[in-house]
Amino acid sequence: MDLAVRYQAKIMHFSSSVVYGPRPDGQKKTKENEIGQVDFLSPRSSYDEGKRFAETVVENYRQVHGLDSRVIRLFRVYGPRMKLNEGNLIPDFINSALENSSLVIPGDKYFSSSLCYVSDCVDACLKLMESSVIGPVNIGSDVDMNLTKICEMIIKILDSKSKISYIDSHLFISELCLPDITRAREELGWLPIVTLENGLKKTIDDLRASKGLKTVV
């Protein structure tokens, strides 16, 4: 932030949906003006509160120094070039399906999440930087997707012999709130356009290649 002030640079801060805290009952979509609630003594509080504090820093620099800053709040984003075996849902599911091993969901059969393909996210970033909108702006899919259905889709695309299993919920993989993307739609002219099936196919193709298993046609 000090460097941005020194060189009067335009800056974007990549924040996260974790600033809102756990998904509220009723699965309502969350607007940018909602304060959210985070347990600041939980085992993962340093990450969640860190994201909240970072937004505070950016906003204070904007107010005090007149910095040309933007804050974008990303909901679950996926796509090519994600690393395997790092505990991320989609690459872990794809890796397991490639190996015909169980796709393990950290929760029950009702676990759901929204997923936004990376090119849609990049498009939103460019639109936000080119606009006069300061933010924060929610960027993500507002469609709730059942993880079991997503796993079934991955297994089908790969014609895998994998099964689906469930384990206890993971501390850092939890159901997140759904974004209200009205502001992005009305002020940036942005909507996610890549379908889940197409996004998964592109991601699968890339991750298969990274494992050295891509078939040359």
Encode pLDDT of 93-111 as tens digits. Answer: 999 999 999 999 998 898 8
Residue range 170-212, pLDDT digits in tens? 777 777 899 999 999 999 999 999 999 999 999 999 998 887 6
Q: What average pLDDT is seen over the chain?
A: 91
Span 44-60, mean pLDDT?
94
Rounded to whole angstroms, how far apart are CA atoms 71 and 62? Answer: 11
**Which pLDDT score, from 0 to 100, does residue 22 have?**
85
Domain for residue 30, yes or no?
A: yes
Catalytic residue among 20, 47, 61, 166: 47
Contacts of 46 (CB under 8 A, 6+ apart): none
| CA 72 centroid distance within chain | 11
**Which pLDDT score, from 0 to 100, does residue 212 have?**
66
Domain for residue 105, yes or no?
A: yes
Q: Which of 107-116, 124-133, 150-159, 180-189 has the lowest mean pLDDT?
A: 107-116
The CATH number assigned to the domain holding 90 equals: 3.40.50.720
Domain for residue 57, yes or no?
A: yes
The answer to whether 47 is a known catalytic residue is yes
Domain for residue 217, yes or no?
A: no
Print the domain residue range for 17. 2-210
The DSSP bridge pattern shows strands 11-16 and 112-113 to be unpaired
**Which pLDDT score, from 0 to 100, does residue 12 have?**
96
Position 141 pLDDT exceeds 70: yes
Q: Which of 94, 205, 78, 206 is nearest to 160 (CA)?
A: 94
Domain for residue 216, yes or no?
A: no
Residue 214's pLDDT band (cuts 50, 70, 90): very low
Domain for residue 126, yes or no?
A: yes
Q: Which of 64, 89, 72 is nearest to 11 (CA)?
A: 72
Q: Give the Cα-Cα-Cα angle 92, 109, 99 (nearest 5 degrees).
A: 30
Cβ atoms of 160 and 154 closer than 8 Å: yes
Residue range 72-88, pLDDT digits in tens? 999 999 999 898 877 78
Rounded to whole angstroms, how far apart are CA atoms 188 and 76? Answer: 20
The DSSP bridge pattern shows strands 116-117 and 29-30 to be unpaired
Domain for residue 180, yes or no?
A: yes
> What 8-state DSSP symbol labels residue 22?
B
Query: What's the predicted TM-score (pTM) here?
Result: 0.90
Contacts of 75 (CB under 8 A, 6+ apart): 17, 114, 116, 138, 139, 140, 141, 176, 178, 179
**Number of domain units in the chain:** 1
